[in-house]
Amino acid sequence: MTYLFIPQAGDREAIHMRLSALENATKAELIAIYNKTQKTGIIAVRAQIHGILALHYRFNAVFGSSPICIKDQFEVSLQNPIVPVGDHWEFEIGH
């Protein structure tokens, strides 16, 4: 599941708004949000990508890493489902 993200006017503000909404999310909530998004898949709606990018930034801030892959600053992709492990996360075995 990969989306080619080409920045447009207003993206930064939209991502910031979604990032603010995730500010108080617990680690368990972040993992649940990621897994729900991963299960749905990328449906090529720009608002969804704003949310995925915000989730990526929040994962990096909270966990120090993200299951969302951003390649060459433009290719956004979701990996396999994840599970909590202690204070971190890892990819679910068997996927």
| CA distances from residue 50 to 32, 83, 91 in whole angstroms, order as listed | 18, 23, 23
User: What is the token pair recorded at 27?
Assistant: 């680690």
| CA distances from residue 6 to 46, 67, 72, 83 in whole angstroms, order as listed | 10, 21, 11, 30
Q: What percent of the chain has pLDDT over 70?
A: 98
Mean pLDDT, residues 47-69 taken together: 97
Which has the minimum average pLDDT: 34-38, 66-70, 71-75, 89-93?
Answer: 71-75
pLDDT at residue number 3: 84
Q: H or E element: which one contains 27?
A: helix 27-40
Q: Domain range spanning residue 74?
A: 2-91
Residue owning tokens 């202690």: 86
The domain tally of the chain equals 1
- The Cβ of residue 5 has, within 10 Å, a number of other Cβ atoms equal to 17
